[in-house]
Amino acid sequence: MASERVVVVGGGLAGLAASMRLAEAGVSVDLISMVPVKRSHSVCAQGGINSVNTATRELGDSEYLHLDDTVYGGAFLQHQPPVKEMCDWGPRIIDLMDRLGVAFNRTNEGNRDQRRFGGTMYKRTAFAGATTGQQLLYALDEQCRRWEVDGLIRKHEYWEFLGPILDDNGVCRGVVAQDMFRMDIRAFPADAVVMANGGCGLIYGRSTMSLICTGGAAGRCFKAGVKYANGEFIQVHPTAVPGTDKLRLMSESARGEGGRVWVPKKPHDDRDPMSIPEGERYYFLEERYPKYGNLVPRDIATREIFDVCVNQKLSVEQDRLCVYLDLTHLPSSTHKKLEGILAIYEKFQATDPRVKPMKIFPAVHYSMGGLWCDYEKNEQTGGLVLGSPRNHQSNVPGLFVIGEADYQYHGGNRLGANSLLSCIFTGMIVAPSVESYMAALRTRASDMPTSMFDQEQARHKTHCDALISGNGDENPYHIHDELGDSMTRNVTVVRYNKNIEQTLAKIDELDERYKRIRLSDKGNWTNQNLSFSRALGDMLVLARVIARGAMQRDECRGAHYKPDFAITAPDADDPATLRQQAIKWCDAFQASNDQWLKSTVCGYRPDGDHEFGYEEVDTSLVPARPRTYGLKGAEIIEEVWNERMKKKSTESAADTQAVANA
Amino acid sequence: MSKKINVTVKRQDEQNSGSRWEKFSLDYESGMNVTTLLQRIAANPVTVDAGESTPVAYDACCLEEVCGACSMIINGRVRQACSALVDNLLQDRPDQITLEPMTKFPVVRDLLVDRSFMFNGLKKVRAWVPVDGYFDRGPGPKMSPHQQEDQYPLTECMTCGCCVEACPQINDRSSFIGPHAISQAILFNEHPVGQFEEGERMKAITGVGGIGDCGNAQNCVKVCPKNIPLTRSIAKAGKMATKFVFRNFFGT
């Protein structure tokens, strides 16, 4: 019998962690990546990786509180069992990465140092300078290289995934991919496929994401029948540096280490920022959110910066929206810890952020949503049944999804430094799931007729040829620009249905124009024009999923913010009125949760009229509660809400008693 | 009329074909970098002399100088295209910007080269920590902040190829493994657990194409975009090699 083979698509943290764990279990892996895996987008993660640690435990922290912060920060839109499992694994994952040689910053005693990130009160975040993602990725890259030398991992770098291969029963039996140099298209038969293809920021034109984060692979899986969930939840990072080719991330660690966000009180004050006295500066995050200060969760920081610039017209510059992120007051020892990101700013803006405040503005950063995948809950622990084939398996049998490409861990908004954790964690736990799945397989990919693989290969070849020979009048790069503009304008920080409708109409138009694209490169050797244009088709498909999902969700939750459906915060001075307002607020919150505390699950239809359904969210560990970071009237809302919950639990206890008595 | 920038690109259709120069004239925009220029060419690949051409093939990914993809020769100097700001380039040379592929690697097409050589070097020096497995075995070894500060710069190597390009010892007549690989070998030789495989690494370092082939030109350290102390690693490798050969010679 032929040995088991698994294809892993994507060589970022998730894909490499999965490959290395599978190899350790003796499974042969074909690792397919558009770039040498060491150049994957995980390198861009800067600030750190979260887990409970001995220092935070001393202060009362626990895995449960990490879970609580994560689901509260995520507006309760994630199934809690996988999140619980992830938080439980946190300390072990950091330990493992430590053993693999990651150069984590150290305390004087030689322990790992930690910093604080947004959405928590604890210093949970371990870090390696300000290039933590790079360091973690390299450690996994090194381990995979070791397995490559041992022959268990076969890398196919500069190969592009074109689609999964499904048999007549809809079971995934491999993938088709294309050599990006020679342009050969070939089938890779596999007993299971793990998609670790990352995010889809390029749908928004420029974002903080790398050029490979097109969503192309996700779009291709979606078109093959894999469901797509919570697409409308796109994180816009509060602090990025605008550029002509990309919006460069300025890590949350800048604020974690004491960076302050402000604008001059006088609009477009053109004085040297260092000469503006304290009294004439507006530290709006600190003033509005005294508890969290500059470290409010990302969705809130983003909206506040947006509000200050757009609504209050306090942007630092007149013709460009930006605010100051100020690190000039920090000691040089802190600057040293942030060296990686400060160097990026200095290099790309030609200004030294150690002596002059940085100018930053929010940018599209992360997709909380992604390809749908399953999990199996452990009823005893509340976490996962490890090794269950259901964990991370999509609705297409044999096709698994991990990392940013999945939708499980971050709900409506991701907390900073949780993504590196979720990527490594999902890579680690998908391996035993894949093994169990393969152990139960009756037929192997090697038992399948070769004609099935040949047919799929031929189908993709035909599609490729059609794109190359197309002789229309449309330029794919212009279509991409227009898509990015419309999506960024209408489907990011503040969303209005009438605007989203405009974007949907724009997508209709672009879809039509896409049919008439003409490639400027018609060759059959290292044709990057083809790769981009093909991905553009997938971006249009996913853009529709994102925009339609946003259109239909009439509420505010995490990164998805619609002012027309916002609940007005209590603001009365008179205590009795304030209480009445809080009661109303809680009623509205409850009603909104009853209707919308559910995940969007979208299925593909070739005519573009995708099927939208909704899935209940498992909130069995931490009941949903009002998300009141710095909200006006937070205290009274919490008071009313807690009274309600208390009453509810007394009632249900009484009910149980009544049933028992009857 | 808006300001124009002249960009000259060395082009090569395939691995074994000859090269030619093409000139593009692009609209200037403040804050541009070289990757933006290449994106603009891709969107409208029209040359100054010959009219319609094809997009220039190039490697690029993160665009913030952490992935190492977009190394090329810009105005005669090897560096990353993403961090090469047009304003700075024009200050040095206002009339044009010249882009060429690195010369020490096989050209795949235009500015895109095949750097497998570098990754193979990492295999030869066994650049990894030889852990027992990925199950929970507690934390890694304690390390002083001082040790971490020594280690950190070496871990930033993004295998971009600048050092290889600048090294005179890397040529058709030599099999030198390259400064990057030597530096990675030192990184792991100095790691508390990595050092368990020091002997294996030193075999590669003292063998054919190893440290003996370094001519000490010190070009590598000058072009490294991450300011990695490559020459310090090379000096250490030299010392370790002497010790290693000595030990082996006397069988101790």
Q: In this complex, is the C-beta atom of A247 within 8 Å of any C-beta atom belonging to chain B? A: no
CA dihedral of residues B119, B123, B126, B131 (deg, nearest 10):
90
Is the predicted pLDDT of residue A2 greater than 60, yes or no? no
A298 is catalytic: yes
Closest partner residue to A521 (CB to CB) among B55, B59, B188 is: B55
Write out pLDDT tens, residues A250-289. 988 899 999 999 999 999 999 999 999 999 999 999 999 9
Predicted local confidence at residue B157, as pLDDT: 98
Q: Is residue A117 part of a domain?
A: no
CA–CA gap between residue B141 and residue B45 (Å, rounded): 54
What average pLDDT does this structure show over B87-107? Answer: 95
CA–CA gap between residue B132 and residue B127 (Å, rounded): 16
Q: Is residue A63 part of a domain?
A: no
Number of domains in chain A: 3
Is the predicted pLDDT of residue A1 greater than 70, yes or no? no
Closest partner residue to A131 (CB to CB) among B57, B144, B156 is: B156
**Co-location of A618 and A551 in the same domain:** no
CATH number, domain with residue A522 = 1.20.58.100
Predicted local confidence at residue A319, as pLDDT: 84
Judge whether A572 and A578 are in contact, CB under 8 Å. yes
Is the predicted pLDDT of residue A24 greater than 60, yes or no? yes
DSSP-derived secondary structure for A137-167: HHHHHHHHHHHHHTTSEEEEETEEEEEEEE-
**Co-location of A528 and A597 in the same domain:** no
Q: Is residue A542 part of a domain?
A: yes
Q: Is residue A448 part of a domain?
A: no
Write out pLDDT tens, residues A426-440. 999 999 999 999 999
Determine the topology of domain B4-113 in CATH: Ubiquitin-like (UB roll) (3.10.20)
What average pLDDT does this structure show over A504-511? Answer: 98
Interface test with A, best of B30, B36, B67, B109 (most A CBs within 10 A): B67
CA–CA gap between residue B150 and residue B155 (Å, rounded): 10
- Among B197, B185, B196, B176, residue whose Cα is nearest residue B236: B185
Q: Which of residues 212-251 of B touch A (CB under 8 A)?
A: none
Judge whether B240 and B205 are in contact, CB under 8 Å. yes
CA–CA gap between residue A65 and residue B32 (Å, rounded): 45
Percent of chain B at pLDDT exceeding 70: 99
CATH number, domain with residue A309 = 3.90.700.10
Write out pLDDT tens, residues B47-66. 999 889 999 999 999 999 99
Predicted local confidence at residue A533, as pLDDT: 98
CA–CA gap between residue B120 and residue A145 (Å, rounded): 9
Mean pLDDT of the residues in chain A: 95
- What number is the ipTM of this complex? 0.97
Q: Is residue A244 part of a domain?
A: yes
Percent of chain B at pLDDT exceeding 90: 92
Write out pLDDT tens, residues A612-626. 999 999 999 999 999
Tell me whether residues A43 and B52 touch, CB distance under 8 A. Answer: no
Start-to-end CA distance of chain B, whole Å, equals 76
Greater model confidence, A659 or B244: B244
Is the predicted pLDDT of residue B75 greater than 90, yes or no? yes
- Among A428, A397, A367, residue whose Cα is nearest residue A140: A428
Which structural domain, as residue segments, surrounds residue A332?
238-363
Of the three residues A540, A565, A590, the one that is the final residue of a domain is A565
Instruction: Tell me if residue A494 falls in helix, strand or coil.
Output: coil
Q: Which of the four pLDDT bands, split at 50, 70 and 90, describes residue B250? A: confident
Of the three residues A334, A363, A392, the one that is the final residue of a domain is A363
CA distances from B143 to A113, A136, A138, A570, B140 (A): 11, 17, 19, 52, 9
Q: Which of the four pLDDT bands, split at 50, 70 and 90, describes residue B246? A: confident
Write out pLDDT tens, residues B167-183. 999 998 989 999 999 99
**Co-location of A521 and A548 in the same domain:** yes
Predicted local confidence at residue B252, as pLDDT: 57
What average pLDDT does this structure show over A548-577? Answer: 95
Q: Is residue A376 part of a domain?
A: no
Domain residue limits, chain B: 4-113, 116-250
Determine the topology of domain B116-250 in CATH: Fumarate Reductase Iron-sulfur Protein; Chain B, domain 2 (1.10.1060)
Predicted local confidence at residue A118, as pLDDT: 81
What average pLDDT does this structure show over A486-505? Answer: 96
Q: What is the identity of the amino acid at A540?
A: L
Interface test with B, best of A22, A27, A106 (most B CBs within 10 A): A106
Of the three residues A363, A389, A419, the one that is the final residue of a domain is A363
Does B116-250 match B4-113 at the fold level?
no
Tell me whether residues A475 and B43 touch, CB distance under 8 A. Answer: yes
DSSP state of B53: -
Write out pLDDT tens, residues A373-385. 999 999 999 999 9
Q: In this complex, is the C-beta atom of A131 within 8 Å of any C-beta atom belonging to chain B? A: yes
